Structure 1
């Protein structure tokens, strides 16, 4: 991830007029990384079928930490694994669609990075992206908690934290840096 992010950042600095296109490539790569991480975790535990067999008859108890406190115990079956995969894959599918929409709106002058104005699309695309990304991370977290025993030999937590922190912190940096600049301009005038 680091070389791709570094290259896209460098190209965005050198060719700032094309930064939105480089950011778009980075965002599609980000979706691909999440898909590959989920695939890697499933491969480590032997695939979806092996997970279902290993978890057969187990349940995930309600938890405040996982925000399942108001739900009945969740059966760890094929339906649960499918929901976790769908939670991750919805982001993988939605992100390229959002990139295409962003580029179309940018071409029509309706998208400007960091412009949270209600008449610009940046605000709405950011909200959709945040919800989708949060659902993907939540699905991965539920999958990990359910398969913690199976994944223990592979120690995926550091990999998960590293990958997700790069993606998540980059996202928030891109979102808040323009906001920070506009606040600075406001306080200077």
Structure 2
């Protein structure tokens, strides 16, 4: 059978393997030449080691994405999974570029941080799609459950009504971070251009401190809503083991940071 766009599932994986090998043949000599040209210090060694990990992680992620595309049997679940898998190459490339050129780190980090918010949105979409497909009467199932009280530190707050109210507020609590994060990232970029950002300096005279506090509050509330959502629907979500998947997502964030 000839290689055409219609039967792309047949030849796409060999093509990706070939392109990866070509990239290795081209990039490794360039890296060695860069090491010889520059004085080999700690920064250069770190950049070279990061490049090795980049060449390892990107093809693994691409292969996982390709496997989903080739075996595209559950689009409503595989779409958010593919979006989440794109997080690894984006974060890897961002970290490598920022390590090589620290002066432009704030600009490439803007794209990375916006994608982090998009990943959390996709993860919530993955859980919602799974529950909707498997339990069409999910609201009725929630209404039949015992009343769920708030977790610490919101124990004193009135409990959300079981059913559609709790489902909506948990989703809204998670998705608010997907709006807050890109918004604060754009503000950070503007502050950097104006010279008032001062990243890493805990002082109330710069913008970075306020943005870090605002981002952390938003993220912690999103995590709280996600944990509450899981606690209420633990039995229904157990087949897809969402805790391990979400921990993997957060590990990508922390390790690359």
TM-score (normalised: structure 1): 0.81
Q: Of 200, 209, 227, which residue of structure 2 is paired with 1:141?
A: 227
In 1, the alpha carbon distance for the partners of 2:252 and 2:152 equals 22
- Conserved in 2, the CA contact under 8 Å of 1:76 and 1:146? no
Between Structure 1 and Structure 2, whose CA radius of gyration is higher? 2
Residue in 2 that maps onto 1:2: 88
2:118 alignment partner, one of 25, 32, 56: 32
SS of residue paired to 1:56? helix
Choose from 136, 140, 146 the match for 1:53.
Answer: 140
Structure 2 matches for 1:40-189, cutoff 5 A? Answer: 40-46=126-132, 50-62=137-149, 66-71=152-157, 74-167=160-253, 169=254, 174=257
Instruction: Report the count of equivalent residues.
Output: 170
8 Å contact from structure 2 (residues 188, 197) kept in 1: yes
Unaligned runs of 5+ in 1: 175-189
- Quick one: structure 1 residues 71 and 49, their matched pair in 2 at CA, closer, same or farther if it must change by over 3 Å? farther
Q: Distance in 2 between matches of 1:52 and 1:18?
A: 48
How far 1:72 moved relative to its partner?
Answer: 5.6
Residue 96 (structure 1) shift:
0.8
Structure 2 distance, partners of 1:94, 1:72, is 25
Deviation at 1:35, TM superposition (A): 0.1
| Unaligned ranges ≥5, structure 2 | 1-86
Q: Deviations over 1:9-28 (max 9, x none)?
A: 00111222210011111100
SS of alignment partner, residue 46 of structure 1 = helix
Q: Aligned equivalents of 1:52 and 1:164: distance in 2?
A: 29
Q: Indicate conservation of the 8 Å contact 2:121/2:178, yes or no.
A: yes
CA RMSD of aligned residues (A): 2.1
Distance 2:154 2:226 in 1: 15
Deviation per CA, 1:110-144, whole angstroms, max 9, x where unpaired? 10210112110110000000000001111111111
Q: C-alpha separation between the residues in 1 aligned to 2:176 and 2:159?
A: 24
| C-alpha spacing 1:26/1:50, structure 2 compared with 1 (3 Å) | farther
SS at match of 2:132: coil
After TM superposition, the score normalised by the length of structure 2 is 0.61
Deviations 1:40-86 (A, max 9, x none): 000111169642122123234447x6545435654321011110111
